[in-house]
Structure 1
């Protein structure tokens, strides 16, 4: 029997013996299926410039929605569970992750409760996969054990940033007016940043960073304007990405997170613009080098 089969068999046994939990599990499946259908029609909203492909965005959006469904299920399921059953389940999940090579970051199932593996499968979810490899090609250890290193490796940063943006979009999807305002700010900053790198100068990276910081101030004002909508939002998962990403190995990503995370929703998108800025900076450098080379040849 595979480790994943062992998890699901244990879940079936517990659900069969625990009628209230089984009823909750069934209801969670129905409501989860409904929310996935709604997501399918709104997966591209809100939209703003970034660095993630459309297919990766869809996958991240589905992952964020399923994770939210599993979190909600867990909060109601835990009071119905015997502590021993939950502890046994967590051990089985950890063993499944260890044997599969998935690790802590690739598979967030262990955050939930007994029944989550079956529920996730019903909603069309599964562990994170990277280019058909098992797990995440982590060089810092965080993906394996969840212990934060001094600097997070690029692979972990990539996964966490994509999830942070997806969670941000999930939250904003429930607040359309707020989402449109945030998207406008991100679009404006992206255009300003691009114009910076189309100009000539010695401090383009600093200028682009300044545009992102200014965008953060606009986001803070939006947060105050939409405080009534925000009052009902659960930002715990969104907030959970801030500390690890504040230890990113990439300077532009790390500095942007540290400056804008207190500005509220939209901070993840601004941080992604920091990654976009790196690509634009390299492109501008190459273009400038080619221009200088051509100029020197004419002389």
Structure 2
């Protein structure tokens, strides 16, 4: 049975081959995110009405993208993509977006990634808003300049690194809202890690640090396996902002936080693990 991941893989090849198509797609992603955020922040409607409007809005966004992208995609590629989309399974009746139905009815190469961008901002404000507020609050304590100028330094000072890591974790939580299977596994894995690490720290033996490192290694591997098991869910998500925040967190002046961020790759759960690993370490931010 076809999955959205199959469509995304086909789209990635087509987008990689056309700079112009990538530009149109990037613009469509920006428009889609802005439109969905505006819908969610409309004070004149309640949550139920916003959810009811989401599907038609996504259909409009897909049609607009398709009209601009059509001339840049070969007819045989469009036909092959649509044949693949036609074999997608039925959507859950509880899904307000009806992703697979939308792809079948309104899709063209790039549509699966476009809907992933919509999914990444559903249920919350623009991710950058959270970071901007946190950095503004940290500006008075900032010594690296990032909170004041947004010029990325070689190393983020502790207040800025903490603000960035908090935004990274919040973005991860938003993404996991759209991946129920992975979210459930991630919660279990991190709860087990949190309990085991707390126990190791409480004992306070000479080899506690080595024990904790072993636990972190085990948790990273568990998260990697969970992400592989739920790769179809992950393929629906737009990880662009998550990766950007991971790259920023990797510049943290706190080695533990930076180290976990550098290991993040595409493994959702790593933002939360980086914060978990930091707590209780000598010199850790609190």
Q: What range is the shorter-chain TM-score in?
A: 0.5 to 0.7
Within a 5 Å distance, the mapping from 1:118-197 to structure 2 comes to 128=133, 135=139, 137-197=141-201
Deviation at 1:28, TM superposition (A): 4.8
**Cα displacement string for residues 254-275 of structure 1 (whole angstroms, at most 9, x for unaligned residues):** 22222x3026100001001112
Q: Please give the alpha-carbon distance, in whole angstroms, between the structure 2 residues aligned to 1:170 and 1:241.
A: 13
Q: Please give the alpha-carbon distance, in whole angstroms, between the structure 2 residues aligned to 1:136 and 1:174.
A: 36
- Matched with 1:204 is 208
- Matched with 2:279 is 276
Deviation at 1:177, TM superposition (A): 1.9
**Cα displacement string for residues 133-173 of structure 1 (whole angstroms, at most 9, x for unaligned residues):** 58453110122233322221000011011100000000001
Conserved? CA contact 1:136–1:156, under 8 Å: no
How many residue pairs end up in the alignment? Answer: 180
Within a 5 Å distance, the mapping from 1:8-157 to structure 2 comes to 28=36, 31-33=39-41, 128=133, 135=139, 137-157=141-161
Q: TM-score, normalised by structure 1?
A: 0.51
1:26–1:133 Cα change, 3 Å: closer
**Cα displacement string for residues 83-133 of structure 1 (whole angstroms, at most 9, x for unaligned residues):** xxxxxxxxxxxxxxxxxxxxxxxxxxxxxxxxxxxxx89xx9895157x95
Q: Please give the alpha-carbon distance, in whole angstroms, between the structure 2 residues aligned to 1:208 and 1:189.
A: 9
- Matched with 1:235 is 239
1:203–1:150 Cα change, 3 Å: farther
Q: Please give the alpha-carbon distance, in whole angstroms, between the structure 2 residues aligned to 1:240 and 1:25.
A: 16
1:221–1:142 Cα change, 3 Å: same
Question: What SS class does the counterpart of residue 222 from structure 1 fall into?
Answer: helix
Question: What SS class does the counterpart of residue 280 from structure 2 fall into?
Answer: helix
Q: Please give the alpha-carbon distance, in whole angstroms, between the structure 1 residues aligned to 2:205 and 2:217.
A: 20
Q: Please give the alpha-carbon distance, in whole angstroms, between the structure 1 residues aligned to 2:202 and 2:138.
A: 40
Q: Please give the alpha-carbon distance, in whole angstroms, between the structure 2 residues aligned to 1:137 and 1:155.
A: 7
Structure number with larger C-alpha Rg: 1
The correspondence for 2:270, drawn from 263, 267, 270, is 267
1:142–1:201 Cα change, 3 Å: same
Report the aligned-residue RMSD: 4.0
Deviation at 1:32, TM superposition (A): 1.8
Deviation at 1:228, TM superposition (A): 0.8
- Gaps of at least 5 residues in structure 1 are 1-23, 40-71, 80-119, 283-299
Residue 226 in structure 1 maps to residue 230 in structure 2 = yes
Conserved? CA contact 2:158–2:253, under 8 Å: yes
Q: Please give the alpha-carbon distance, in whole angstroms, between the structure 1 residues aligned to 2:199 and 2:131.
A: 40
Question: What SS class does the counterpart of residue 233 from structure 1 fall into?
Answer: coil
1:269–1:26 Cα change, 3 Å: closer
